[in-house]
Each structure stands twice: as C-alpha cells, then as structure tokens.
Amino acid sequence: MSSSANSNEPADGIGSAPIQGPLWSARVKDWAEVQEPTAQPMFEAVLKATGVGPGTSLLDVGCGAGLLCQLANRRGAAVAGFDAAESMIATARARVPGGDFRVGDMEALPFADHSFDVVTGVNSFQFAANPVRALSEACRVAKPRASVVIATWGKPEDCEAEAVLAALRPLSPPAPSSAPGPFALSKRDALEEILRQAGLQPTEFQEVDTPFLYPDLPTALRGLLAAGPAVRAMQTSGEQKVAQAISDVLGRYRQPDGSYRLSNKYMFVVATRPQSNYLRPGFRTLTPYLLVNDAERLIAFLQTAFGAHEVLRVPRPDGTIMHAELQIGDSRLELGQADPDSAHFREPGAAGIHIYVPDTDATYHRALAAGALSTTAPYDAPYGDRAANIVDPCGNHWFVATHVR
C-alpha cells in the first residue's frame, strides 16, 4: 500500500487528488511510523537499480510521508516529492527539510521539463485518474537519459496483504466497474505496455520480497488502518468493524513469538525515453494539427471531453491563440486559430481524428454535454472496438473507440 493507493475512482475524467488526499491524510503518523517502513526493501532496490547517489536529482511521485526521498537524500541525492495528501507532504518536509515537496494531481506535475535524473512511482501510477497521462508527465519532467520507475504489487497470489484488502471490500463503498485496483499493473506485460504508451522503453525488471512485519497486533492495526483503503472502509462501516475484520485476517499470519508477518512480492520496471535527435520531447513522428475558428472554445471542449492537458500556448498580440499544444493520453495535439492576415493560418478546415479512450460510452456522453454533435451513437464494430462518432464545436470529426476484444 502507498499514499496513492486504492482510490476506487474512475480512471477516466477528473484527477484523483481531491478524493485521495483526505483518505491518506487521516492517519499520517501511524502511516509514517508503522506502515511506510514496510516498503523499505522495495525503496532500497529501486535506489540501487537506478544508481541514486551524490549529485542525483530524484522526484518521487506519490511520495507519501517521504521515506524513499529520505533514503535517497542519505545517499547524497537532491530530492523532490509529490503527493495528493497535504499531511503526508508535511511529514515528508519534516523528514527532508531541503527537499522540494508539493501537493496535487500527478497528471499535471508542477515541475519544468527535463528536471530530474530519476523519477519514481511506488504504487502510484496505477491509481491515477489517467495512468498514461500521469506517466507521460513523469517522462516530461525526466531528463533525456533519466530513469523512470514504476513499482507496484506483484501478482495477488504472491501477496498475502491481498487478504487484508479482500476483507475491506465488503465494508467499503462499491467500486465503479472502471476503477483501477492495487493489482492493475501486477503483470509484467501490463507494466511494459503502459510504459510503451507513455513513450518509454523498459530496460530492467526486478521482483523484490517486501514483507509486512509487525511486533504485535496493536502495531499491525496501527499500520494497516492508516492506509487509504482502510480509512475509506471506516468511513462507511466504522472503525470497530474494520479493525475486527483485519484482526480476523491477521490471525493466519501470527508467528510463534506473537509477531505478524505477511509475505509480499513487489515488482518494478526501470525505463528510459528512447533517444532521438530529430523529435522534440513529447512528440511522435505524426502529430495532428487543427486549424479552427475558435481555439479557446476547442481547448475547453478537449479538456472536458477527452481530459486534455494544455502544454503550450502562444498568443497573438490581439489575444487569440496562434499556436497551442495539448496532451491527450500518450499523444500530442497541436492547434491554432485561423487568421486571414496570416500566411499559413488563413482558413479553418475540418479534420478527422481517431482517438482511443478507456470508455467510449462515457466519453461520448461527456463530449455531447460539452457541445459536440453526434454523428454515430456508440456501437460494437466488427474489428473489436466499441466506437462512436462526434463532431466538435469547431467542426472536426472525432472517431472515438475503446478496444474491447
């Protein structure tokens, strides 16, 4: 478990910080003193694999109470941390006074391009509202030859802590069908695919034994009740029921000396951005460019309908948008407002763009609410896509799809 874990929130739409922050801020002292240290074997393995040492600049996304940053700082690194929970960040600042710790959504990191030698995310990226966009942001702030790390739970059958999570589910609000879970990236191919979508190339894979060790039952309850999933369950069912459910599970893992041990296997992938001497960072070979009559309106529509994140805006003297760049998932889109006095931005023209989204139906209805017109309602295409067609407020045709088989 980490300070970004279990949101049970939709993966398509808003950022997760407004919901995650309060959950993980509830019991920060118990988290920092008891539960976060159980992840130290993973933290040490990640730092060793990425060669963190004197002169390294490191950002930990979903940094929790800052233990990984503290360990990196002891190795001589300059550290920064980012998390949804204010109280976690306050604890991290106290642990590493010289660190740069900030609060917000990981889909929009408040750091400049090419800032860090190493960017890590331990049990964090899979809980973003848009995991590919969050990882693309991590790629953006990483230097060209930087290491980007995704660390996550191993397979459920290799993690005895899954029994605790299973006991919490009946005591928690129902999770939406689209919600990610702790094990959303617990297969190597899933990790490598999300890295590929974000434009990163895997270079190393490791599995790490990361047991949860507690000297007694009260300590175990302090640690496990501090995690976001437990806080969420307590909000619904009360602390007494949740504590009893966890206690019942822990009985299986009691050792002869009265301590408790839950064996878990974590895994992580180290990746880098493939080098190119002709592509601008964040871009791929082909980039759509839309020339429209109302760039402001189109940007607002794309943000609402597709979760676009504005990366760059270049205004004209009259305030209209000459050029803008937006990130949608793992892809960049450029657009500009037509101007009859411009040599090459004279006339608007409609374009057609195909876009893959996590949920075609939800995106289709969100787009209509944002001002799009429907040309084809969602349907099942013969090539395995759930598809729909819309026209945006500036006349561009969008072919929306989710591959379902």
Structure tokens, 30: 């118990």
Per-residue pLDDT of the chain (405 residues; tens, 9 = 90+): 444 433 333 333 334 556 666 888 889 999 999 999 999 999 999 999 999 999 999 999 999 999 999 999 999 999 999 998 899 999 999 999 999 999 988 888 999 999 999 999 998 888 777 888 889 899 999 998 899 999 999 999 999 999 999 999 999 988 655 556 677 788 888 888 888 888 888 999 999 999 999 999 999 999 999 998 899 999 999 999 999 999 999 999 999 999 999 999 999 999 997 765 566 777 777 899 999 999 999 999 999 999 999 999 999 899 999 999 999 988 899 999 998 877 666 678 889 999 998 899 999 999 999 999 999 999 998 888 899 999 999 999 999 999 987
Q: Are 135 and 199 in contact (CB under 8 A)?
A: no
C-alpha span between 206 and 149 (Å, rounded):
11
C-alpha span between 390 and 361 (Å, rounded):
12
**Other C-beta atoms lying within 10 Å of the C-beta of residue 338:** 17
Q: Which residues pair with 358 in a beta bridge?
A: none
Give DSSP secondary structure letters for 237-254: H-HHHHHHHHHHHHGGGB
Pick the closest to residue 127 from 11, 270, 228 (CA basis): 11
Give DSSP secondary structure letters for 306-352: H--EEEEEEE-TTS-EEEEEEEETTEEEEEEE--TTSSSS-S-B--E
C-alpha span between 232 and 242 (Å, rounded):
10
**Other C-beta atoms lying within 10 Å of the C-beta of residue 395:** 15
C-alpha span between 85 and 280 (Å, rounded):
33
Model pLDDT, residue 161: 94
Q: Sign of the C-alpha dihedral, residues 165, 167, 169, 172?
A: negative
Pick the closest to residue 309 from 321, 319, 299 (CA basis): 299
Structure tokens, 311: 């990366």
Please, what is the Cα angle at 360 between 358 and 361, to 5 degrees?
A: 125
Strands 352-356 and 142-153, bridge-based pairing: unpaired
Q: Which three-class secondary structure state does DSSP give residue 80?
A: strand
- pLDDT tens track for 273-300: 776 556 677 777 789 999 999 999 999 9
Q: Show me where the domains of the chain are located.
A: 17-272, 289-403
Query: In whole numbers, what is the pLDDT of the chain averaged over residues?
Result: 88
Residue 389 CA: distances (Å) to CA of 12, 13, 88, 300, 355: 18, 19, 43, 19, 10
- CATH class as words, domain 17-272: alpha beta
Considering the entire predicted model, what is its pTM? 0.65
Structure tokens, 249: 């599970």
Pick the closest to residue 102 from 119, 88, 122 (CA basis): 88
Q: Are 335 and 298 in contact (CB under 8 A)?
A: yes
Pick the closest to residue 306 from 335, 330, 284, 322 (CA basis): 330
C-alpha span between 405 and 385 (Å, rounded):
7
16 CB-side CA count, 13 A:
32
C-alpha span between 375 and 368 (Å, rounded):
11
Most distant CA atoms of the chain, gap in Å: 83
- Alpha-helical (H) ranges within 117-227 are 131-141, 162-168, 188-197, 217-225
Q: What values do phi and psi take at 387, rounded to 5?
A: -130, 160
- CATH class as words, domain 289-403: alpha beta
